[in-house]
Structure 1
């Protein structure tokens, strides 16, 4: 009997890869889909931590990553032994970790969050009187501390793509459109000075929905401070709008995640035949420990987002 295959793709992959997928989405959407997928093989066209999350949530499936090099700077910049010591130095805090983290990192966490639900989950914890430490994304944590007056201790890692956005380049971009109306939407992995200028800060799906619902000036310019893959979906939804990636320095609108772009057509096709990187190296102990904070997030989200 032929094995059933489901292919998942993140919004940051190329249009050609998204067109090959059974489901395209952000981290939360793809986690939910992977958990419930009735498939023998899950091909995850994204990065390694996403494929690991799919395996943790659906351990009976064979999960395949198309390219071995598809990592994430937030993972690479985090030493798990140092993280464990940092957590132990805050014994009275709840450890909230962004989903952009390794399975071993998740296993040291009390809650996992995505960029879509991080605001609500941390607000929920503070409403319960809890104290929180946040890892691994320093920029996201700094924005939450600024926006809501939290005092969360933060781990110090950044997304190498979002961290390149900067206020000076944005000021030049805004000036370059002359008197035309303009707006900025940004992912919370961006630096705080960028987020402070934004008309909307939110997840990949949140930004896409903002564009879909945009009712501003038809001749305006929308600058998007995130990886360029999502611009395909935005322009598909609203082809009449002038949508541009925010620059990272004067004139450059070319900010891509090198790891996402390793998901080539050839690599995904091989993975669909089971020939990619199989996520079979996680220990049962790590998977069990990581599953608890992920499921805590999914349960919260299922009640909160209806």
Structure 2
């Protein structure tokens, strides 16, 4: 019997890669699809932590990452030994870790969150009288502390793509369209001064849905503070709208994730033929430890959003 091969592509991959995929989505959507796909082989056109999460949720499948270099600055900026020591400095806190983290990182967390459910999950923990520490994304944690008045200790890693967005460049971009209605939507991995200016802050899927439902003046300009890959999906959904990536400095709207762009047509084709980086290095104990906080999140989401 032929093996069932499923190809997954993140929104931040190029349009050509998205068109090769059986499923396109954000990291959590893709991991859940991987879990339920009954695939023998999963080709994950994304970055390594996403492929690891797919393997954790579907340990019996062979999971292949097309390119060895597809990592994430939130992972490379986090030393797990130092993170573990930091966790021990806060023994009376619940450790919430963003899903954009390595398997080893997830294994020292109490809860995993996504950009889609982080607000509700942390609010629920505080409502229970618990104290929270948050890792790894400093910008996301800073926004939560600002928005809700929390005092969460934060780990200090950033997404190198989102961290490039800045208020000065944004002001320059807005000045260029001063004769039009302008809106800003932003991913919470962006710096706090940008998020304070946003009309909507949310996950990749949340921003895409915001664009789909946009009902303001048709000649409005929508600036998007996230990786440029999602603009393809937004323009497919609403081709009549003027959708632009938020600038990172005057005149530049070209903020791409270099790791996502390693998922080339050639690399994905090779992975579909069984070549690439196999996620076969995680031990059963590591996967079990990392799966527990993920499953807590999934159970929370099932109850909270039912």
Please state which band the TM-score falls in when normalised by the shorter chain: over 0.9
What is the total number of aligned residue pairs between the two structures? 306
Within 1, Cα distance between the matches of 2:131 and 2:305? Answer: 24
Map of 1:285 onto structure 2: 285
- 1:59 equivalent in alignment to 2:92: no
Q: Measure the CA separation in 2 of the matches of 1:14 and 1:168.
A: 28
Instruction: Provide the C-alpha distance between the structure 2 equivalents of 1:28 and 1:123, rounded to a whole number of angstroms.
Output: 20
Q: Which residue matches 1:243?
A: 243
SS of 2:285's equivalent in the other structure is: helix
Q: In structure 2, how many angstroms separate the alpha carbons of the residues matched to 1:152 and 1:30?
A: 29
User: How far off is 1:178 after superposition?
Assistant: 2.5
1:151-190 Cα shifts (integer Å, max 9, x gaps): 0000000000000000000000000012100000000000
* Residue equivalent to 2:267: 267
In 2, the alpha carbon distance for the partners of 1:13 and 1:287 equals 26
| Structure 2 counterpart of 1:294 | 294
1:302 CA drift (Å): 2.1
SS at match of 1:20: coil
Q: Output the CA distance in 1 between the equivalents of 2:32 and 2:51.
A: 13
1:15-59 superposed Cα distances (whole Å, 9 cap, x missing partner): 011111111111221121111111100110000000000000000
Measure the CA separation in 2 of the matches of 1:37 and 1:161.
31
Q: What's the C-alpha RMSD, in Å, of the aligned pairs?
A: 0.7
Q: How do 1:112-123 residues align onto structure 2 when only pairs under 5 Å count?
A: 112-123=112-123
Maintained 8 Å contact 1:164/1:248: yes
CA contact (8 A) 1:32 1:298 kept: no
My pick for the range that moved more, 29-38 or 48-57, is 29-38
Q: Match for residue 227 of structure 1?
A: 227
Structure 2, unpaired ranges of 5+: none
Do residues 126 (structure 1) and 126 (structure 2) align? yes
- What do the CA deviations read for 1:115-135 (whole angstroms, capped 9, x no partner)? 001101001111111100000
